[in-house]
Amino acid sequence: MTSKIKTLVVEYFRGVDDEDITAVLGTLRFNCVFSIETHRIKLQGHYQISEMLHRLWKNHQWVRHDHFHYVEDISASDLAVRFRVTNKLHSNKLVFKSNCNFFTMEESKFSEIRVYMAGENTLNLNEVT
């Protein structure tokens, strides 16, 4: 049996991979905090998260997330997932990464997503100093 939070993670990544902002935002609380911990970046709310995803999609032919490995908190409100990211650049080069995200769910949507990203910052956001 798949938990609610794991189902929501699958919906979130499907939306990202399909470039479907409506689907992605459907998994997030309006004031969701999205942080890229490895690059000291913090976004909050649908607008900032949408802008980040639109930049990601514009700067790549496509992005895919797969090979998921889940670790779920017994409370069923937190979930860690390690996965592979494949980015296809406009030059046709493929870039592979191993990332880990931590999701927190409140009232059936994500209130927080914390990203640990291997390698360069492909979300094209500036680090906070």
Tell me the pLDDT tens digit for each residue of 66-94. Answer: 999 999 887 778 999 999 999 999 999 99
Q: What is the pLDDT of residue 124?
A: 58
Is residue 100 assigned to a domain? Answer: yes
Q: What is the CA radius of gyration of the chain?
A: 14
Is 128's pLDDT higher than 70?
A: no
Which CATH number does the domain housing residue 78 bear?
Answer: 3.10.450.50
Is residue 122 assigned to a domain? Answer: no
Query: For residue 95, what are the contacts with CB-CB under 8 A and spacing of at least 6?
Result: 86, 87, 88, 89, 119, 122
The band of 127, judged by pLDDT with boundaries at 50, 70 and 90, is very low
Is residue 126 assigned to a domain? Answer: no
Distance CA 78, CA 95 (A): 29
Structural domain harbouring 66: 4-116
Is residue 79 assigned to a domain? Answer: yes
Is 123's pLDDT higher than 80?
A: no
Is residue 51 assigned to a domain? Answer: yes
Is residue 17 assigned to a domain? Answer: yes
Is residue 10 assigned to a domain? Answer: yes
Q: In the chain, how many domains are there?
A: 1
Q: Average the pLDDT over each of 7-21, 45-59, 68-82 and give the range with the smallest value.
A: 68-82
Is residue 78 assigned to a domain? Answer: yes
Q: What average pLDDT does range 114-123 have in this prediction?
A: 81
Contacts 24+ apart (CB under 8 A), 109-112: 109/8, 109/26, 109/27, 109/28, 109/29, 109/32, 110/8, 110/12, 110/27, 110/28, 110/29, 110/32, 111/29, 111/31, 111/32, 111/33, 112/32, 112/33, 112/34, 112/35
